[in-house]
Structure 1
Amino acid sequence: MEVRIGVRNVAREVVFESDSTPQQVRSAVTEAMSNGSPLIELEDDKGRTVLVPTAALAYVEIGAQEKGRVGFGTR
């Protein structure tokens, strides 16, 4: 699943693929924001840790769990 994180005053998004479910990502972000944690900590599909400061967070876009299909098939 693709996760996009917007950071205030930065032109580029933080984009990575994650093996986490959308609910896990949502709960990690919500927990960090509500607890006053200085960082949001997420893990990508290669095991790397992504840290984003909560004070600079603009938005989090959580992608669909299923990967899109390539081609012209109708199924």
Structure 2
Amino acid sequence: MDVRIGVTQAPREISIELGDDADRADLKARIEAALSGASDVLAITDKRGNESFVPSAKIAYVELGSQEGGRSIGFGS
């Protein structure tokens, strides 16, 4: 699953690739807590174990990709 986070006053977004076993409901709850102000920081661990921390006040948007996570490259259906 891919997560893209837009940060205010930053030209690029943060892109994080999560493992296939990532809990979408838990991640969505943590994102909602960060956007509502209940949490000061949104922390996400990618599939390699790297942790990313984004201050809640700087989050412009969060986009969750599909659960399958299979990006296709080239020709095919």
Q: Are 1:68 and 2:71 counterparts?
A: yes
Q: Distance in 1 between matches of 2:24 and 2:64?
A: 6
Quick one: distance in 1 between partners of 2:18 and 2:64?
Answer: 10
Pick closer, same or farther for the CA change 1:69–1:22 going to 2, 3 Å.
Answer: same
1:45 aligns with 2:27: no
State the TM-score, normalizing by the size of structure 1: 0.82
Could you say what secondary structure the match of 2:29 adopts? helix
2:41, 2:53 within 8 Å by CA — same for their partners in 1? Answer: yes
Could you tell me how far apart the structure 1 residues matched to 2:58 and 2:72 are?
Answer: 34
Whole-angstrom CA distance in 2 between matches of 1:10 and 1:17 = 20
Write the deviation string for residues 16-64 of structure 1: whole angstroms up to 9, x where unpaired: 1012233222111112334532211111001111100000110000001
Over the residues paired in the alignment, what is the CA RMSD in angstroms? 1.7
Q: Which aligned runs of 4 or more in structure 1 are off by greater than 4 angstroms? A: none
Are the equivalent residues in 1 in contact too, given 2:37–2:56 (CA < 8 A)? Answer: no
Number of residue equivalences:
74
Q: Scaled by the length of structure 2, what TM-score is found?
A: 0.80
Identity over aligned pairs, percent:
36
1:32 aligns with 2:41: no
One-letter amino acid matched to 1:30:
E
